[in-house]
A = this chain, B = another copy of it.
């Protein structure tokens, strides 16, 4: 089983750390490859960044399809381009917010999301609603650390731990969801510190994709997520006017 994890930003150091989280939950016999696009933003912290990460994501899926990939993980908590990715892929595609929120709903009555910048809070709520998870989502909280600062700031772990503890208390929630792929490595430490389940979306999504593939389940080819129609594309994006032939 070949799984492709896509870090939607173009920062390779982050791809490396996402790869570690992803591979740590690979099943025997699964090959998990983590990549990032060659075009797009170095980090995703706005709707603007998110929208502009999608052409790169789709390029990676086109390539992976032609290589016979069984399933995909989009490793940014905004789950950018998920609908378009589902159209393009034949196997299942999971976003990490999607995976983390669903898993959290199995472990308690409510969860809190702790993410990076305050301005991304609205996007997390939009996703919770889209996935049917808003009834479980008790709060979404920024911690005022930029994405690329996460692994540079020596206080990241302390700040995050404290923010998670406070979120659980203020929201009266029982589970924590980490709201950025760059936080994956801190998951178990924070959980131990605060005594609550803490969920990293990368591991959650890799497990879900493997589960779906192992059950023989693929993205439904009927209706909304059927492969997109082939048509001409103009200018800088003209290469998107044909589909992969996996």
Which residues 206-233 in A have Cβ within 8 Å of B in the complex? 207-208, 211-212, 214-226, 228-229, 231-233
The answer to whether A115 has its CB under 8 Å from any CB of chain B is no
The answer to whether A182 has its CB under 8 Å from any CB of chain B is no
Q: Given known contacts A46-B87, A84-B46, A207-B215, is B224 in contact with A108 (CB within 8 Å)?
A: yes
Contacts of A221 in B (CB 8 A): 195-196
Q: Are B107 and A42 in contact, with the CB atoms below 8 A? A: no
| Docked CA distance A86–B106 (Å) | 9
- The 9 A-B pairs with the shortest beta carbon distances in the complex, nearest first, are A39-B235, A132-B132, A207-B211, A108-B220, A47-B83, A174-B220, A46-B228, A48-B228, A10-B234
Q: B-contacting residues of A (Cβ < 8 Å)? A: 10, 25, 27-28, 37-43, 45-52, 54-56, 58, 81, 83-84, 86-88, 92, 94, 98, 102-103, 105-109, 118-119, 121-123, 126, 130-136, 168, 172, 174-175, 188, 191, 195-197, 199-200, 203-204, 207-208, 211-212, 214-226, 228-229, 231-238, 240-241
Contacts of A105 in B (CB 8 A): 102, 131-132
Q: Given known contacts A55-B237, A106-B94, A223-B119, is B228 in contact with A203 (CB within 8 Å)?
A: no
Q: How many copies does the complex hold?
A: 6
Please, could you name 9 A-B residue pairs with CB atoms under 8 Å apart, sorted by A? A27-B27, A47-B224, A51-B84, A103-B217, A109-B223, A119-B226, A131-B132, A132-B135, A208-B208
Chain B nearest CB, measured from A137 CB (Å): 9
Chain B nearest CB, measured from A39 CB (Å): 3
Q: Given known contacts A208-B211, A211-B204, A225-B174, is B40 in contact with A235 (CB within 8 Å)?
A: yes
